[in-house]
């Protein structure tokens, strides 16, 4: 995180010196889009929130508390097929219920929700990530035996390549947990030293390689300055260098730590 922060600190130009940005806001309509109706100095400081806004906040916080309690005490969740209800379903149910309560108790016009910037950004992210996740999962499951066979020969002779294999698999399945659960048993089975597996655990974060994850897409949608973007070749987007720095630094430090402990 420190390495990414230092890189981001010195990255790019300030907006007042960015020629592309200044050319964009030279158009009054674009300036209005970038800065909004109230100008660049808009702030909530000193403003009084309405009762309905406070009500919406407390409903949302209440739903979070309930979800946290149900997560901490599985016995409180309904039992389905002999097991407590999945937390995935629990979170979905209570968040949808919180949204319904907010609409009901704050008298929010449902027709205005779809026009907000947050909703549009979220929907773009949801559609994109579902499409990519389903495609990746289908392809990965269909070719898992061939992938394991191809990786086995390489990782046996060059254990450090386990990190690259883990990184690529995490991007294919779009899940850190799925990448770890798929690759750790494979690594152990083919003789990768456990120290390497521990040291390179951070390589399971490969979401950023292609800008398809909800947080990436939402960030692009939210940034009205246009400086957070996907490049012409897709791979050259705003998140690729920070992501590589973060994973690379983490794996290097992990390697040094396990080496110091004599694990490899």
- Quick: pLDDT tens for 69-113: 999 999 999 888 888 999 989 999 999 999 999 999 998 888 888
Which among 60, 77, 108 is the end of a domain?
108
Same domain, 210 and 132: yes
Same domain, 92 and 139: no
Same domain, 137 and 259: yes
Q: Domain for residue 226, yes or no?
A: yes
* Number of other residues whose CB lies within 10 A of the CB of residue 198: 16
Same domain, 140 and 263: yes
At 37 the pLDDT is 55
> Who contacts 25 (Cβ-Cβ below 8 Å, separation ≥6)?
31, 34, 35
What's the chain's Rg over C-alpha atoms?
23
Q: Domain for residue 7, yes or no?
A: no
Element (H, E) at 214: helix 214-222
Same domain, 60 and 104: yes
Supply the DSSP symbol for 77.
Answer: S
> Who contacts 127 (Cβ-Cβ below 8 Å, separation ≥6)?
none
Same domain, 164 and 217: yes
Q: Domain for residue 57, yes or no?
A: yes
Q: What range does the domain containing 60 cover?
A: 48-108
Q: Domain for residue 33, yes or no?
A: no
Same domain, 135 and 252: yes
Q: Domain for residue 25, yes or no?
A: no
Supply the DSSP symbol for 12.
Answer: S
Same domain, 204 and 263: yes
Strand 79-80 vs strand 83-84: parallel, antiparallel, or unpaired?
A: antiparallel
Q: Domain for residue 139, yes or no?
A: yes
Number of H helices, E strands in the chain: 13, 2
At 19 the pLDDT is 82
Q: Domain for residue 13, yes or no?
A: no
- H helices of 73-160, in order, are 87-105, 110-113, 117-142, 144-157
Structure-block tokens of residue 90: 């629990």
d(CA 177, CA 181): 6
Total domain count, the chain: 2
Same domain, 245 and 199: yes
Positions in the chain short of pLDDT 50: 39-40
Same domain, 148 and 226: yes
Which among 108, 136, 159 is the end of a domain?
108
> Who contacts 24 (Cβ-Cβ below 8 Å, separation ≥6)?
30, 34, 226
Same domain, 72 and 182: no
Using CA atoms, how far residue 140 sits from 158, 171, 204, in Å, is: 23, 10, 15
Nearest alpha-carbon partner for 250 in 204, 211, 189, 217:
204
Same domain, 164 and 99: no
At 43 the pLDDT is 63
Nearest alpha-carbon partner for 154 in 99, 192, 113:
192
Query: In the block, which residue shows the tokens 């040291």?
Result: 199
d(CA 204, CA 218): 22
- The long-range contacts involving 31-37, CB below 8 angstroms and separated by at least 24 positions, are 33/224, 34/224, 34/225, 34/226, 35/224, 36/224
Q: Domain for residue 122, yes or no?
A: no
* Number of other residues whose CB lies within 10 A of the CB of residue 77: 17
At 148 the pLDDT is 67
Q: For residues 3 and 245, is the Cβ–Cβ distance under 8 A?
A: yes
């Amino acid at each position: 995180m420190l390495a990414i922060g230092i890189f981001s600190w010195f990255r790019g130009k300030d907006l007042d010196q960015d020629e592309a940005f200044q050319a964009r806001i030279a158009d009054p309509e674009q300036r209005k889009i970038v800065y909004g109706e109230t100008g660049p100095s808009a702030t909530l400081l000193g403003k009084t929130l309405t009762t309905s806004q406070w009500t919406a906040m407390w409903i949302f916080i209440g739903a979070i508390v309930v979800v946290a309690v149900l997560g901490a005490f599985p016995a409180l969740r309904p039992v389905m097929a002999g097991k407590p209800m999945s937390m995935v379903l629990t979170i979905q149910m209570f968040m949808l219920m919180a949204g319904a309560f907010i609409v009901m108790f704050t008298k929010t016009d449902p027709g205005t929700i779809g026009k907000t910037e947050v909703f549009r950004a979220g929907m773009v992210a949801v559609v994109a990530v579902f499409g990519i996740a389903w495609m990746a999962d289908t392809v990965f499951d269909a070719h898992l035996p061939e992938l394991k066979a191809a990786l086995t020969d390489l990782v046996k002779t060059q254990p450090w390549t386990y990190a690259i294999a883990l990184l690529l698999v995490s991007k294919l399945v779009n899940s850190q947990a799925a990448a770890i659960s798929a690759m750790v048993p494979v690594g152990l089975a083919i003789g990768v030293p456990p120290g390497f597996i521990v040291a390179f655990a951070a390589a399971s974060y490969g979401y950023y390689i292609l800008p398809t994850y909800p947080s990436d897409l939402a960030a692009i949608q939210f940034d009205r300055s246009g400086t957070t973007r996907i490049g012409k070749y897709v791979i050259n987007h705003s998140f690729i260098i920070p992501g590589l720095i973060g994973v690379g630094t983490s794996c290097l430090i992990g390697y040094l730590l396990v080496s110091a402990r004599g694990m490899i």
